[in-house]
Amino acid sequence: MAYYFKETSHTFNEYLLVPGYSSSECRPENVCLKTPLVKFKKGEKPAISLNIPLTSAIMQSVSGERLAIALATEGGISFIYGSQSIDDEANMVKRAKSYKAGFVLSDSNVMPTGTLADIIELKDRTGHSTVAVTSDGSANGKLLGIVTSRDYRVSRMNPDTLVSDFMTPLNKLVIADENTSLKEANDLIWDNKLNSLPIVDKNGNLKYFVFRKDYDTHKENPNELLDANKRFLVGAGINTRDYEERVPALIDAGADVLCIDSSEGFSEWQEKTLTFIRNTYGDTVKVGAGNVVDKEGFLFLANAGADFVKVGIGGGSICITRETKGIGRGQATALIDVCAARDEYYKETGIYVPVCSDGGIVHDHHMTLALAMGADFLMLGRYFARFDESPTNKISIGGNYYKEYWGEGSNRARNWQRYDLGGDKKLHFEEGVDSYVPYAGSLKDNVRLSLSKVSSTMCNCGALNLEDFRSKAKLTLVSATSIVEGGAHDVIQKETSLGTK
């Protein structure tokens, strides 16, 4: 006879936090959200910690190099998606790792034979007013000059005017060589009253721009997640098929941590992948595994050598695994069960294996609930897909902007490796959908707003760090009626002139 769990499977939306005593020190600005990313022994520090408890999902529609840079700037880490060729993923990791804070690759470039119309089109498309003029029109071609909004007047010039006729030529520019430090570059900008400074190599090829406005931006990001060489930390996804080739390529590319991307992690395939990595690299390569939804699954992956364990099956907004296969578990119940197993494992072995909650986050307060239930950090897909930095297109539908968002189990992604059970190398049926999510703007603004809510709630519970939060949090199940009571009800809400409520 089948085994039946006695407890009902619950989601985050069925829980609320009960406030605890808050001292005068419990202010949001005093809250620390630092959390371990990988396992560590009692009395030791983890090799990698996050400054905020957020990671981005291993998905084509979420984790590209732009989002990796933006999230690391805020203190979290992205896992570059693995459902692409090994070379493409490795190059994406390289580009994110080689990004130098304050040194910006030019995304607006023309040849001197371009026209004013080309400049206007570039500005409309990128939003950037500084355009590099290079010999071949590429971001790294030989620098011939630049065009800024001070170099032309649309109302007084013919759109067919050649760029070479109104650009600021190289001999009138202040430039710097590629060995210039960020401090030296900012000093040059200040001393020469510049808005931007081109950085060129010894052959005169454009490498980067340093912008005056980015100095303030750099100072505004105290949580940047950096390695020993002051490069952003970057993660990468792997599968259980080509790991013998993919893992070395990603390590060579500079990936700081890996994660096995699979819909279900309680399998011999994940054990084999972890064994290969441990036999080849020992503990020097950090790798997470999953996904699981109970104690057995956690213990299996922890004993197999996982540096962290992901929890969640079927709870993602684009995931239809529960609908198509009938497997999974309510995310809150799964997380509570696995975190209890983690704590028990730590007491018995002295090894702390962090738990990542993956899926089921719909509202910001769900983040807080997941952390209270024991998650060390969260992995988010839909949340990050809405932002400027995600790799998908922004489109207008009915006067509103949306971003494309699709699951790895959809026909669009066709990531058969994620659902691999050792059979044919193809996706037999969909376990994800193709969709849109409302466009939400920049990652920075949204992440800071979300985490301000988390910090505020932690203060309501009398906690100033995540470890204390887990020990002090008091959770209560809520009825369907009390969920309704929790929102605005029995009133007619006003519509403002801006169309918001």
How far, in Å, CA of 453 to CA of 33, rounded?
A: 12
How far, in Å, CA of 77 to CA of 309, rounded?
A: 16
Instruction: Locate 23 and state its tokens.
Output: 């001292």
How far, in Å, CA of 38 to CA of 50, rounded?
A: 10
The 3-state secondary structure of 255-278 reads CCEEEECCCCCCCHHHHHHHHHHH
Residue 26 bears catalytic tag: no
How far, in Å, CA of 283 to CA of 140, rounded?
A: 38
Q: Which ranges in 201-351 belong to alpha helices (H)?
A: 212-219, 243-253, 268-281, 295-304, 321-325, 331-349
Residue 339 bears catalytic tag: no
How distant, in Å, are the alpha carbons of 96, 152, 192, 210 from that of 213? 21, 22, 15, 9
> In the chain, what's the furthest Cα-to-Cα distance?
84
DSSP state of 176: E
Of the candidates 259, 319, 339, 459, the residue annotated as catalytic is 319
Of the candidates 386, 418, 459, 461, the residue annotated as catalytic is 418
How distant, in Å, are the alpha carbons of 49, 138, 172, 210 from that of 227? 11, 30, 38, 22
Token pair 């009390």 is found at: 482
CB atoms near residue 44 (< 10 Å): 11
Q: What is the Cα Rg of the chain in Å?
A: 25
286, 256 contact by CB (below 8 A): yes
Instruction: Locate 330 and state its tokens.
Output: 């309510």
User: Catalytic amino acids?
Assistant: 319, 418
